[in-house]
Structure 1
Amino acid sequence: MKEEKRPIFGIITTAIARRQHWKRRRSGYMPSAIWQALEQRASELGLTTCLFRPEDLDVRRGRVNGVVCVRSGETKVWRRITCPLPDVVYDNVFVHLSTTPALKRARRFFENRGTPVFNPRLGNKAELAAWLRNYPNLWNYHPETMLFTDPAQLEALLKSHQSVYLKPVLGSAGQGIIEIRTQEDGNYLVRAVKYGKDKRSFTRVLGTAGMLAFVRAERHRQRYILQAGCELLWIDKGKIDLRTHLQRNQQGEWEVVALIVKRGSPGSIVSNYHAGGSVHSWYWLKRWAKDNDFELPRRRELFQLSVAICNAYADKSPYLSSLGLDLGIDEVGKIWLLDVNARPGRNILEQEQKIRCTQLHAEFAYYLCYHRQ
């Protein structure tokens, strides 16, 4: 009886050696534990995993030269072989390499062929905010946000909010964020983190004219969104926010992989781990709330809101597979959506959570192979 053909789960990545360097290896190739966990889960689901670089796609012959795990009993050997075109593709190329000509050609080829490519870029901060405005029930959790085009916008926001943030439209990891906070004497406290090419921090106290001159110069330097400040919780002089990490499973549904509490370094305007912050458990925050007689929202409410937000963005991008949501809790216990990360980093996840994320990529690939409409 002829064995049924297994679907090919292609992973387009730059994490493997180029083909011309492959033969120079004197020892067998063994990928990291994360890649092995992904391949193992895919194999359990009946998929053959093929890792390939953008330039490994042979459009003319309709095939890819990729790295595949070849099994013989209990033995596993990873080899570079020629494979048929994949049935589904996971885009694993780093963001800063995602505009190379070879990758653009590969994406365009698979799109024209009707092959689902998941883990897409979702849009910049202005586009993400604009999309969520289409969902009024969810927009209620979002601070007032707009593309910064005129200093008059900032002046208007500062009349109704104690602080306003300028966030680079293409920013990530807290880089280049500027906080402008009204002072009792009528001046403005202007602070920034990871600012400019040298990624420095600064603090300035400016009058109205100086503040407006500063933001005019910034508007010409790069594109920003303006976001009204939410007076979030602080613990031991560190700003608190939450990260929910969600991915889609083999039913195509969103699964919460992690809920992480982030605390900024003392006095910092951001809580990012890359900016010197620390990570804690939800139970750590619950203990603080109990000791300080503060009523936190229920964890179930955070999860339900996170899933609803992910579903809204999946309407925008049907092959969206993962999201990291930065949520804040203000001084009266209200939840705020502060930021959306379509390709969330995993450096703050525990090892078992990282492995689960990897397994979910295989499960979503299975869903796209068999159950997508």
Structure 2
Amino acid sequence: MELVTFGFLTVHDKHEKKYATEIAKRSSHYNIQCVRFKPTNIDPSTLKVKGEMYDDKINEWVPSTFNIPAYLYDRCFYQAGDQLKKGKLIVDWLKKNPQTMFLGCGLPNKWTVYETLKKDSVLSSYFPETNLVKSISHIKKVLLKNGSCLLKPINGSRGNGIVAVYYNNKKVTAIYHKGRNKQKKEFHKLSRFDIFCESLLKQHTYLIQPLLNLIDAHGYPFDIRLFLQKNKQGQWELVGKGIRKGYYGSFLSNLSGGGESISYDEWLTSLSATQKIIFESELQTICERLPLFLEENIDHLFELGLDIGLAKDGSVWILDINSKPGRQLLLQTEKSLEEKLYHAPLAYCKYLSEQK
């Protein structure tokens, strides 16, 4: 079989280097050569790339110049900053290049994803009512009507920029996270809250949703992360599940925001036999329908992280969908999956090359 070049796209030199290295260590079994590079390191005049090539003789990444790889694994998050914006433009160009194939093309912003999934009557029932924030008065109208709401950036990740807002006794309280630290702002006048909202909307375009009651019996916020990937036959499968538990008084359970990881099987013991059957049936429906519907209506994908909420009344909610999910939760709670997680991108790359 012809040697296949597999390119791991990064945003900076240390970005996910351990993950890329673990993949590269196993690449010789698939007759694959692994390289790492930043999209901005492609020379537009020669189409040569300056990056690193994995040398399996010395088990190290070596500075190298090479052609643009035929297969690309994009793990970059393109947010603020000129270099990241430039990187996204280059990646968009690579996606149109007939000589390159991405393992997965990723997802657009949360609003576009929501609008797409709304077309499926089954999947749409798992989403809380979601609207695009049109103005500050729009936020206040929802807040005064419901007493609370959740503001979520359409391009956010890892809980960044999410704000929980409460209205009680003519006082507005906004709670958000900065890393692991919870921030709280109180406004005794709605005009003061207007200024806060104005600042938010200058930074991001926001979605507004109801603030769901997603806490466990002890008052801790939690959600269920489902990790889905395509296997060596190109078929979707549910690789693993884990629980993310936030700290008391928070509304987020992201690990980057100070949450802890819990084994799914351990958490499942807190449900009754009937609750288990109903809940796992709901998860199966989501896993069977959602990836295929996204691919049919948006673009081809390789992996997905689905964040699922279970409310006290037993209702199941899709909270977030991530096409570049982390593996920290599974590596902490299901150590037996480690080899599978590191082999998966290579096995799927081999499948794609054989199909081509």
User: Which residue does the alignment assign to 2:111?
Assistant: 126
TM-score (structure 1 length as normaliser): 0.77
**How far has the Cα of 1:262 moved from its partner?**
1.8
Distance 1:51 1:208, change over 3 A: closer
User: Which residue does the alignment assign to 1:27?
Assistant: none
User: Which residue does the alignment assign to 1:167?
Assistant: 152
| Aligned residue type for 2:342 | T
Q: Please give the secondary structure, in 1, of the residue aligned with 2:330.
A: coil
User: Which residue does the alignment assign to 2:352?
Assistant: 368
User: Which residue does the alignment assign to 2:96?
Assistant: 111
Equivalent position to 1:276, from 249, 258, 272: 258
User: Which residue does the alignment assign to 2:244?
Assistant: 262
1:45 aligns with 2:30: yes
User: Which residue does the alignment assign to 1:357?
Assistant: 341
TM-score (structure 2 length as normaliser): 0.81
- Paired residues of 1:233 and 1:239 also in contact (CA < 8 A): yes
Unpaired runs of 5+ residues, structure 1, are 18-30
User: Which residue does the alignment assign to 1:240?
Assistant: 222
Q: What is the RMSD computed on CA atoms of the aligned residues?
A: 3.6
1:330 aligns with 2:311: yes
**How far has the Cα of 1:270 moved from its partner?**
1.7
Q: What is the distance in 1 between the residues matched to 2:258 and 2:94?
A: 42
Distance 1:213 1:32, change over 3 A: closer
Q: Superposition pairs for residues 71-220 of structure 1, below 5 Å?
A: 79-96=62-79, 99-101=84-86, 104-105=89-90, 107-109=92-94, 111-151=96-136, 153-154=138-139, 157=142, 161=146, 163-181=148-166, 183=168, 187=170, 190-194=173-177, 201-204=183-186, 206=188, 215=197, 218-219=200-201
Equivalent position to 1:13, from 10, 14, 19: 10
The structure whose Rg is larger is 1
Q: What is the distance in 2 between the residues matched to 1:92 and 1:177?
A: 22
**How far has the Cα of 1:143 moved from its partner?**
0.3
| Aligned residue type for 2:159 | G
Distance 1:270 1:294, change over 3 A: farther
Q: Please give the secondary structure, in 1, of the residue aligned with 2:7.
A: strand
**How far has the Cα of 1:9 moved from its partner?**
1.8
User: Identity over the aligned pairs, expressed in percent?
Assistant: 23
| Aligned residue type for 1:91 | D
Equivalent position to 2:211, from 200, 219, 229: 229
1:320 aligns with 2:324: no
Q: Please give the secondary structure, in 1, of the residue aligned with 2:271.
A: helix
1:295 aligns with 2:295: no
**How far has the Cα of 1:369 moved from its partner?**
1.9
| Aligned residue type for 1:111 | K
- Paired residues of 1:107 and 1:117 also in contact (CA < 8 A): no
Q: What is the distance in 2 between the residues matched to 1:272 and 1:227?
A: 18
1:340 aligns with 2:321: yes
Equivalent position to 2:19, from 24, 28, 34: 34
Q: Report how many residues are paired.
A: 349
**How far has the Cα of 1:159 moved from its partner?**
7.4
**How far has the Cα of 1:302 moved from its partner?**
1.4
Q: What is the distance in 1 between the residues matched to 2:41 and 2:129?
A: 45
Q: What is the distance in 1 between the residues matched to 2:84 and 2:345?
A: 22
Distance 1:341 1:284, change over 3 A: same
| Aligned residue type for 2:176 | V
Q: Over residues 66-89 of structure 1, what are the superposed CA-to-partner deviations in whole Å (9 max), with x where a residue is unaligned? A: 5434556xx756544554442211
- Paired residues of 1:248 and 1:255 also in contact (CA < 8 A): yes
Distance 1:162 1:282, change over 3 A: farther
Unpaired runs of 5+ residues, structure 2, are none
